[in-house]
Structure 1
Amino acid sequence: MCSTHYPAQRIWPLYLKFVMLYNIPETAVRVWRRYLKLCPEDTEDYISYLMSIGRLEEAAKRYEWCVNTDSFTSKYGKSKHQLWSELCELISKNPQETSLKNAEAIIRHGLQRYTDQVGMLWNSLAEYYIISALFERARDVYEEGLRSVMTVRDFTQVFDAYAQFEELTLKKRMEEVGIEVDVEEETELELRLARYEDLMQRRPLLLNSVMLRQNPHNVLEWQKRVTLYEGKPKMIVATYMEAVKTIDPKQATGKLFSLWVNFAKFYEENNQIVDARIIFERATEVLYVKVDDLASVWCEWAEMEIRHGNEEEALKLMKRATAPPPQKVAYNDESEPVQRRVYKSLKLWSMYADLEECLGTFKSCKAVYDRIIDLRIATPQIIINYGMFLQENSYFEEAFKAYEKGISLFKWPYVYDIWNTYLTKFLERYKGTKIERARDLFEQCLEKCPPNYARNLFLLYAKMEEEHGLARHAMQVYTVGLLKQFHPRRSCPFTTSTYNMHSRYMVLLKQERFTRRLLMTYLMKVVEKCVCGLLKWSVN
């Protein structure tokens, strides 16, 4: 707020208007300087007047005062960044007229102060040197800007200005030389053209550097950088080395283990297996966030050994990876490093079991499957694979014991596949020779089986009774199965899924000529269950 009294407030505007009306710039400048001591908030008007009379050095100094004075507030609502931008534009486009000794320092101060909007400032500094005919210095500024900007927007601004500068200088030089050129001039033109082409070719790599400055832990961007160096082995190795040193596993974006694996595969593709093993060894020591990442590294290492015919070495790696730590730790305890928890990785054990089946002995493979079950990390598919492996080697009772172990580990509905495989294989093996044992298994299975999983099991049970047991037992199985599949709340109490069971039941009635009493017993049970179900539904 202007600190003059009311009469002065009326006089000063008229006085300033009067001195600016005539071509007496020296007097006007002195009047303005005296006025600004009382009303510094009108500095922007003074700057506009100075620029209109060509006193750009004085205008630049006043701009510098505005941006460096914290108490100054623009009467036109301009931000400090806008004032910085105007100052930089003034300096860059008028280097001779402003002739500030600290012109570069002023612009660089803005670069440090406004780190999120530096593209325009870098261009202003380069333009300052271009207009001053210091072209090499301008190139250095552009290069420095490309190496330091943090956003794609700023990069685009600087790169486009740099490319335009190189294109214009090349075009201007070609116009100066004309059609007939000597050897020296031709060499110069080729050099300028090569410089321009090199800049355009470097764009993807420079942009990748910007992305990595934003997030140096971005695995995907490091992978892109390796791809950009295709055909340059030394640069690829240097990039991988820099990447694995820079990325913090806890801050990594993407799959860090894939970077290590690709690094090792690069050596493998160049027939440097020893170096690939060294990289894999280092990869197993990284403190990954997830256990599965470390397990993937071990698996990839073993697969590399298999590709090169080192099956025994692959088995040794799996045995080493699955070795338990000295002290027992919980798999989900994230306070423990992944190296101490990886011995419970199902991914590792699954591959270990596959390798033992293909390359190991029966005893060693069986020990692996038993260890998986003891660690309680088996899945239904693992149990089924174990049983099939034992059966292929004619250890049928051992296979049935494996199925029973799996049944004790899982609940319905996850245990369905194990039961289905167990009962099917049992009937294939013994047929009707152990009918009582088979009945016990079916009763144990169906005792807790949900209705929506029971149909196939009941059909299998009844088929066994038809082929190897008693028809009356088969009738009882069909009756229980139909009642279990019964839905009293539906308009049709039996669904299409029970049609086969129901039709088979009727065929048996006809073939065996069972009494009317047996049929009525079945129908009475159906009616009874229907009524009970409807009553329960109405109460709820």
Structure 2
Amino acid sequence: MERTSASQPDLYLISDQDIVYEQDLLRDPGSVTPWLAYIEFKQQHGTPYEQAFVMERACKQLPRSYKLWKMYLEFRMNHLRGRNAAIHRSEYHKVNSLFERALILLNKMPRIWEMYLSFLLQQPIVTQTRRTFDRALRALPVTQHNRIWRLYKPFARSASGETAVKIYSRYMQIHPENAEEYIDLLIDMGHYTEAVKRYIDILNNPRFQSKQGKSHFQLWSEMVELLVNKAKEIETGAHVGIDVDGIIRSGIERFADQRGRLWAGLATYWITRGNFEKARDIFEEGITTVMTVRDFTMIFDSYVEFEESVIGNLMEEASVRASKGKLDEDADLDLDLRMLRFEQLMDRRPFLVNDVLLRQNPNNVIEWEKRVALWGDNKAEVVQTYTNAIAAINPKKAHGKFHELWGNYAKFYEKGGDLDTARVIMDKAVKVPFKTVNELAETWCEWAEMELRNENFDKAVEIMAKATQAPKKSSVDYFDETLSPQQRVHKSWKLWSFYVDLVESVGTLEETRKIYERIFELRIATPQTVVNYANLLEENKYFEESFKVYERGLDLFSYPVAFELWNLYLTKAVDRKISIERLRDLFEQALDGCPPKFAKVLYLMYGNLEEERGLARHAMRIYERATRAVSDEDRFEMFDFYITKSASNFGLTSTRPIYERAIAALPDKEAKDMCLKFAEMERRLGEIDRARAIYGHASQFCDPRTNAGFWQKWEAFEVQHGNEDTFKEMLRIKRSVQAQYNTDVNFIASQAIARSQQRAQEGIPETEEEKEQADAMAALERQARAPMGFVAASTGPEGGNRPPPAGKEPQPAAPVNPDAINLDEDMDAED
């Protein structure tokens, strides 16, 4: 293939069969068509050398034909496919020269450049290949450069080193959006400083969008990780433009949830650079500024690990020196100092954690108390902690019991014997604008208790008097949040309760009474206040005064509180044996407007009073009133009690009207039980017919299927006292009652529902017969609900106009004879 022209020695390549094609070429030398036909003929019948001969002539004849050159170049490239470029170097060089000839006139054809560059990539000639890529970029328009860069970038990766970096730096000028790819290359090539600079560029560019879908924080984290891990290899300083400390600190300000990791990373950076003291300063700054325990734990653990590694290395060096018999006092002293520093660090941990929590919320009273406990017996630090807490906590935002912090502060001085300072603290505490009145009241009580512990009783009373000081008539609302706690504290029940207990213990009766009266004037008395005041007067033999206190309490409170006060008041009044007329008036006042659920106890007390000190007849009237006034739950029991009392006072016969009224007033279930008692009483009196009539009356309440006990009792009664006729009558009534319940729609429906629910719970399926019965009961219920004069429709969807079954003729309705005799009724009458 070295011969490339149709010179005289190459004429032997033209055979007789080629003459036709040669003549076509002579006739139309400027056309591509005869050349293509000639080449196609040679591809079918010629040797590769003959094909190359024709293509070479064609390209020389028509050097601007893209089609001929592409065909020729592909043919020459295919001829070398699979051959080693080093062994056949000369052949590859010939094809390279052919490409250079083609590009003289076809240098704007990107496909030719791509073929040439792909062919060069197969050869071990880096410099020539790089220069050819550069020529292609210069020759082609910018719009075609992507086709070249698609080959150029893999070449750069394979070339590596400075070549790759320079190639990619040129690529970044055209495609800055692919900066991540360039950064990866720089990291792979070890150009860490340049990689960091590129990171800084894209992070400072607000329009940059990661093609790998990374967020701004992810890119920033990758840069920080690179700075920390390659600290020794990266050049820093103002002349380079990389301020590692400033970069990481800016991240600490921006990314609050990553502060622990960033502080630890910054310290690791200085550790990697060998500046241990700087790293230690960073750790200290981190653990004293972070706001969460998670971040603190992360930094502290890294700090501890760093100190342990340093101490471990020093101990290894000391052991090596000891094995060689060498002594180094400076090194040993340094080791001891580091051990001491490490122990102090571990001892500081609880305080540092407490600092974190207090930075989160300086109003956290619980954490301030924990800090006081951490100092133990260090009095100076305890006092300083209390001072700092009081200065830092906003009373309105305090989390925890702020008043207890003041109290504990005063107790600290009290235990130390400095009672004057403790009083000064409590005096300041009662002026604090707490969140609630209750906290202020607790503070006053704590101050008084402190004086009591030191047996200063008069001082304690004086303090409570000051705490409860208020105008004669106060219109202040205890629950008015717009007023300060100091303006409302005089209406605190807790404060007055402590005050009155204190004066009652160490003062006189008159002083105590004045305080109780003041409580009533301020209208803050509770039921317990009323009871306590009344008991105080009673203990001191002021019985009438105590009764007046109860009456004042009854004016203040309504039911149900009034019931408890009446109960106590009436009990004590009865025990005092005051006049019966006055007691009757009190009972009538108590019963006036009393709710039914509280009436029973009062009526029983009233009736018992009449039985003991009045007339039995009056007691019976009271019990009779009670049966109407008490609640439904207590009515049966009240009737039973009334009957018992009537029988004991006036005999059994006097209870008949009571029984009758009870049966009429009570619901069916309780009326049945009352009937049984009534019938038993009549039986004991020998009134068998009366008892039988009562049984007959009660039977209407008793379904034989659910109240078998009643019918057994009646049957036993008839067996003992009746005859055959009465027994038959009892059975007839039983059948009648059962029939009545069988036709009671509501009863049937409730029974069916109960059975179906029970079967559903047991998992038993419903039978067809039961379904039919359920449908029948539903129809019966609709019929019962239908208006008068209407007939319920059929259960079918067609109502009463349902057609007869298939195959059957409709039957005419049977005529109704109004004079027909009902034989069933006659038979029942005979029975």
- The question of a shared fold, defined as TM-score above 0.5 by the shorter chain, is answered with yes
Match of 2:212 among 72, 76, 85: 76
* 1:129 counterpart = 2:275: no
* 1:403 counterpart = 2:550: yes
Q: Which residue is equivalent to 2:250?
A: 109
Q: Which residue is equivalent to 1:40?
A: 176
Q: Which residue is equivalent to 1:412?
A: 559
* 1:450 counterpart = 2:595: yes
Of 475-484 and 408-417, the range deviating more from structure 2: 475-484
Q: Which residue is equivalent to 1:199?
A: 345
Alpha-carbon offset, residue 477 of structure 1: 2.4
Q: Which residue is equivalent to 1:361?
A: 508
Equivalenced residues, count = 520
Match of 2:417 among 271, 294, 308: 271
Q: Which residue is equivalent to 2:295?
A: 154
* 1:211 counterpart = 2:357: yes
The separation in 2 between residues aligned to 1:444 and 1:421, in whole angstroms, is 14
8 A contact 2:647–2:655 mirrored in 1: no
The separation in 2 between residues aligned to 1:183 and 1:420, in whole angstroms, is 91
Q: Which residue is equivalent to 2:781?
A: none
Of 98-107 and 393-402, the range deviating more from structure 2: 98-107
Alpha-carbon offset, residue 83 of structure 1: 1.7
Amino acid paired to 1:147: T
Alpha-carbon offset, residue 185 of structure 1: 4.3
The separation in 1 between residues aligned to 2:379 and 2:412, in whole angstroms, is 9
Alpha-carbon offset, residue 533 of structure 1: 13
Alpha-carbon offset, residue 407 of structure 1: 0.3
Q: Which residue is equivalent to 1:305?
A: 451
Amino acid paired to 1:439: R
The separation in 1 between residues aligned to 2:557 and 2:423, in whole angstroms, is 39
SS of structure 2 residue aligned to 1:96: coil
The separation in 2 between residues aligned to 1:480 and 1:183, in whole angstroms, is 107
Amino acid paired to 2:170: R
SS of structure 1 residue aligned to 2:464: helix
The separation in 2 between residues aligned to 1:151 and 1:40, in whole angstroms, is 39
Alpha-carbon offset, residue 493 of structure 1: 5.8
Alpha-carbon offset, residue 504 of structure 1: 4.9
Amino acid paired to 2:534: G
8 A contact 1:325–1:340 mirrored in 2: no
The separation in 2 between residues aligned to 1:9 and 1:197, in whole angstroms, is 63
Match of 2:190 among 54, 72, 76: 54
Alpha-carbon offset, residue 322 of structure 1: 0.8
Aligned residues with identical type, % of pairs: 44
8 A contact 1:126–1:142 mirrored in 2: yes
Amino acid paired to 2:197: K
Q: Given the superposition, is the C-alpha separation of residues 348 and 436 from structure 1 closer, same or farther in structure 2, using an over 3 Å criterion?
A: same
Amino acid paired to 1:434: S
Q: Given the superposition, is the C-alpha separation of residues 177 and 359 from structure 1 closer, same or farther in structure 2, using an over 3 Å criterion?
A: same
Q: Which residue is equivalent to 1:258?
A: 404
Pairing 1:215-254 to 2, within 5 Å after superposition:
215-254=361-400
Q: Which residue is equivalent to 1:435?
A: 580
Alpha-carbon offset, residue 144 of structure 1: 0.3
After superposition, the C-alpha distances for 1:339-376 in whole angstroms (9 at most, x for unaligned) are 11111000000001101111111111111111111111
8 A contact 1:116–1:150 mirrored in 2: no
Of 56-65 and 297-306, the range deviating more from structure 2: 56-65
Alpha-carbon offset, residue 259 of structure 1: 1.5
After superposition, the C-alpha distances for 1:96-138 in whole angstroms (9 at most, x for unaligned) are 2112111111111111111221111111110111111111111
* 1:140 counterpart = 2:276: no
Q: Which residue is equivalent to 1:511?
A: 648
The separation in 2 between residues aligned to 1:388 and 1:365, in whole angstroms, is 13
SS of structure 2 residue aligned to 1:148: coil
* 1:461 counterpart = 2:461: no
SS of structure 1 residue aligned to 2:388: helix
Alpha-carbon offset, residue 187 of structure 1: 3.7
The separation in 2 between residues aligned to 1:185 and 1:393, in whole angstroms, is 86
8 A contact 1:483–1:526 mirrored in 2: no
Alpha-carbon offset, residue 308 of structure 1: 0.5
The separation in 1 between residues aligned to 2:288 and 2:610, in whole angstroms, is 81
8 A contact 2:643–2:658 mirrored in 1: no
Q: Which residue is equivalent to 1:316?
A: 462
SS of structure 1 residue aligned to 2:432: coil
SS of structure 1 residue aligned to 2:258: coil
Alpha-carbon offset, residue 484 of structure 1: 3.1
Amino acid paired to 2:424: I
The separation in 2 between residues aligned to 1:515 and 1:90, in whole angstroms, is 107
Match of 1:388 among 535, 558, 567: 535
Q: Which residue is equivalent to 1:165?
A: 306
Amino acid paired to 2:518: R
8 A contact 1:475–1:505 mirrored in 2: yes
Alpha-carbon offset, residue 6 of structure 1: 4.3
The separation in 1 between residues aligned to 2:289 and 2:224, in whole angstroms, is 19
Amino acid paired to 2:600: R
Amino acid paired to 2:164: A
Amino acid paired to 2:436: K
The separation in 2 between residues aligned to 1:237 and 1:40, in whole angstroms, is 63
SS of structure 2 residue aligned to 1:78: coil
* 1:477 counterpart = 2:618: no
The separation in 2 between residues aligned to 1:533 and 1:453, in whole angstroms, is 24
8 A contact 1:261–1:297 mirrored in 2: yes
The separation in 2 between residues aligned to 1:75 and 1:275, in whole angstroms, is 70
The separation in 2 between residues aligned to 1:477 and 1:356, in whole angstroms, is 45
Q: Over aligned residue pairs, what C-alpha RMSD do you find? A: 2.4
SS of structure 2 residue aligned to 1:178: helix
The separation in 1 between residues aligned to 2:302 and 2:268, in whole angstroms, is 9
Q: Given the superposition, is the C-alpha separation of residues 438 and 532 from structure 1 closer, same or farther in structure 2, using an over 3 Å criterion?
A: farther
8 A contact 2:172–2:178 mirrored in 1: yes
The separation in 2 between residues aligned to 1:300 and 1:396, in whole angstroms, is 35
Alpha-carbon offset, residue 486 of structure 1: 5.1
* 1:22 counterpart = 2:168: no
SS of structure 2 residue aligned to 1:320: helix
Of 467-476 and 26-35, the range deviating more from structure 2: 26-35
* 1:63 counterpart = 2:209: no
Structure 1: 4+ residue segments shifted above 6 A: 531-534
8 A contact 1:435–1:469 mirrored in 2: yes
Q: Which has the higher contact order (CA 8 A, sep 6+)?
A: 1
SS of structure 2 residue aligned to 1:448: coil
SS of structure 1 residue aligned to 2:233: helix
Tell me, which stretches of 5 or more residues in structure 1 are unaligned?
none
Alpha-carbon offset, residue 319 of structure 1: 0.8
TM-score w.r.t. length of structure 1: 0.91
